[in-house]
Chain A
Amino acid sequence: MGEWIRFGFAAFLILCGLLAAGIAAFGLFKFRFALNRMHAAAMCDTLAILLVLSGLIVLSGFNFDSLKLFLIILLLWCASPVASHLLANLEVTVSPKLKDNCEILTDDGKEEEKV
């Protein structure tokens, strides 16, 4: 019985992860503006991978393999948001059509006046 509960929980986590990855892939191709697409891709990088890998950890139990999987989660959660941040920074710096697609706030949180 316990085995079945564990299997069900793991399957639930993995299916959720697959759903998140599917939605992210859909958004990646559906959106037109680079920052929106980047948001979708970053969701896939973090949430979907977290769910799938924790499902695998539950499935594998407490051993050396699950420790390695945990390290993979840690590495990806450290690395991929930073990468997304840098890419978004670049996009904000160089994009000529930025103001058509999003509001730009000043440091106080107020909307910058449109030129």
Chain B
Amino acid sequence: MSKIRKNYDTSFRTRFRRYILGETELPEVDYMPMYKKQIAEEKAEDERATEHYLMPPEVDPMEDAKRYAELSGMRWFRRLYGVMALLLCVAISGLLIYNVAFMPEFGSADTAMTNEVTERYIEKGQEETGVVNTVTGVILQYRGFDTFGETHVLFLATIAVMILLKRRKDEEPVRMDGENPGGDRILRTMAHFMVPLIFLFGLYILVNGHLSPGGGFSGGAVLGAGLILYSASFGFTATARFFNERIYDIVKVGSLMLYSLLIIYYLFTGANGIDSIVPLGKAGAIISSGLILPINILVGFEVACTMYAFFALFRKGGL
């Protein structure tokens, strides 16, 4: 009976009523026994856990886990999971295939994609930018601001990786085999033939970007792949003979700054309606289409540096 009475005394309703009636002094209740009991329980549990931990395992833990999985319905769960995954896949692909029926016919004239913007690109693109490859004209001139931002994103990504991974000069290399990859004779023999061809092809894509499919990003990726292949087969010391950290800094920052200058010129003349003083030249020639050729080359260097920097930073934590 007293217990009930005690509960009544500590209940929120009573305390609230007393507060309303002006009995600010709350009844003294011994809260401690409750906590003491809890603490004792926890302690006992801890002890049990420690005992279990100290005891040598009687059964193979893997077997134990398997048996536990069987008991707790793992097999059924797996089966259900498979069925549900299949249903989900069928449902989603069905939905997508159903939607294909509503797509406009390929190449039809009255779609949202064929509007005045596309017509302008196709009709006036060569005349206004001087490029034969309209894609390059679009990404470097009509939408030059977008490409400019992308190039900066590449720069920022490299800087972020550098912050995370760059090793201090006095730190030991992380890998057991030191800093130099390579040493495989077959790889070296093949790289001997391949690397010059890859570089040549990358440069070809770069300087031909305004005439044929390609341009800064793809050419830069090929150049970067060539650099990675070279350093992976001949080692970083051999690469540092023509591409060390100083040259890397100069090329990377220099090309980005030059690109920025050129794009500022573009934006300034474009926004004020001034004609660019750079002649467009004859469409189809290598030296033509104004500033697009240098911009392509600069973007290519930027991309190549980014790719090589990622490889070198992840491989040895430096350039």
Where the two chains meet, the residues of A that have a C-beta atom closer than 8 Å to any C-beta of B are: 78-79, 82, 85-86, 89
Least distance between A91 CB and chain B CB atoms (Å): 14
Please determine whether B190 and A89 come into contact, CB atoms closer than 8 angstroms: no
Chain B residue contacts of A79, Cβ below 8 A: 190, 194
The interface bits of chain B over 170-197 (1 if a CB of A lies within 8 angstroms of the residue's CB, else 0) are 0000000000000010110010011000
Contact of A86 among B187, B193, B194 (CB under 8 A): B187
| Neighbouring B residues of A82 by C-beta, 8 Å | 186-187, 190
Q: Look across to chain A and name the residue whose beta carbon is closest to the beta carbon of B194.
A: A78
Interface pairs (14), CB distance under 8 Å:
A78-B190, A78-B193, A78-B194, A79-B190, A79-B194, A82-B186, A82-B187, A82-B190, A85-B184, A85-B186, A85-B187, A86-B184, A86-B187, A89-B184
A79 to B190 CA separation, bound complex (whole angstroms) = 8
Q: Shortest CB–CB separation between residue B30 and chain A, in angstroms?
A: 63
Instruction: Given A82-B186, A85-B184, output 4 extra A-B contacts at Cβ < 8 Å.
Output: A78-B190, A78-B193, A79-B190, A89-B184
Majority DSSP secondary structure for residues of A touching B: helix
- What B residues does A78 contact at CB under 8 A? 190, 193-194
| Complexed CA–CA distance, A76 and B190 (Å) | 12
- Give the docked Cα–Cα distance between A79 and B184 (Å): 14
Bound-complex Cα distance A89 to B187 (A)? 12
User: B194 — which chain A residues lie within 8 A by C-beta?
Assistant: 78-79
In whole angstroms, how far apart are the Cα atoms of A46 and B190 in the complex?
Answer: 16
B83-126 CB contact bits vs A (8 Å, 1 = yes)? 00000000000000000000000000000000000000000000
Q: For the complex formed, measure the closest distance between the CB of B105 and the CB atoms of chain A, giving whole angstroms.
A: 29
Task: Tell me the nearest residue of chain A to B193, going by C-beta.
Answer: A78
Give chain B nearest CB distance to A67 CB in angstroms. Answer: 14
Report the Cα distance A2→B184, complex, angstroms.
Answer: 48
- Inside 8 A of A89's CB, which chain B residues have their CB? 184
A79 CA / B195 CA spacing, docked (Å): 11
Distance, CA A52 to CA B22, complexed state (A): 96
Closest chain A residue, CB of each to CB of B232: A86
Cα separation A17 to B172 with both chains bound (whole Å): 50
Q: Closest B residue to A82 by CB, please name it.
A: B190
What residues on B are CB-neighbors of A85 within 8 Å? 184, 186-187
Which chain B residues in 109-163 approach chain A with CB under 8 Å? none
| Chain A residues in 8 Å Cβ range of B193 | 78
- Whole-angstrom distance between the alpha carbons of A78 and B189 in the complex? 10
A97 to chain B, nearest CB (A): 18
Give chain B residues whose Cβ lies under 8 Å from the Cβ of A86: 184, 187
In the bound complex, residues from chain A placing their C-beta under 8 Å from that of B184 are 85-86, 89
Interface centre among A78, A82, A89 (most CB of B within 10 A): A82
Per CB-CB distance, the 6 closest pairs between chain A and chain B, nearest first, are A82-B190, A85-B186, A82-B187, A78-B190, A82-B186, A78-B194
Q: Complex formed: what's the CA distance from A79 to B187 in Å?
A: 9
Which residue of chain B has the shortest Cβ distance to A83 in the bound complex?
B187
Min CB distance B140 to A, Å, is 26
Q: How far is the CA of A78 from the CA of B195 in the complex (A)?
A: 12
Interface residues of B in 191-229 (CB under 8 A from A): 193-194
* Closest CB in chain A relative to B212 CB, distance in Å: 13
Residues of A within 8 A of B190 (CB): 78-79, 82
- Measured between alpha carbons, how far is A85 from B187 in the docked complex, in Å? 9
Shortest B243–chain A CB gap in Å is 22
Closest Cβ of chain A to B271, distance in Å, is: 43
Closest residue on chain B to residue A89 by CB atoms: B184
Chain A: which residue is nearest B197 at the CB level? A75
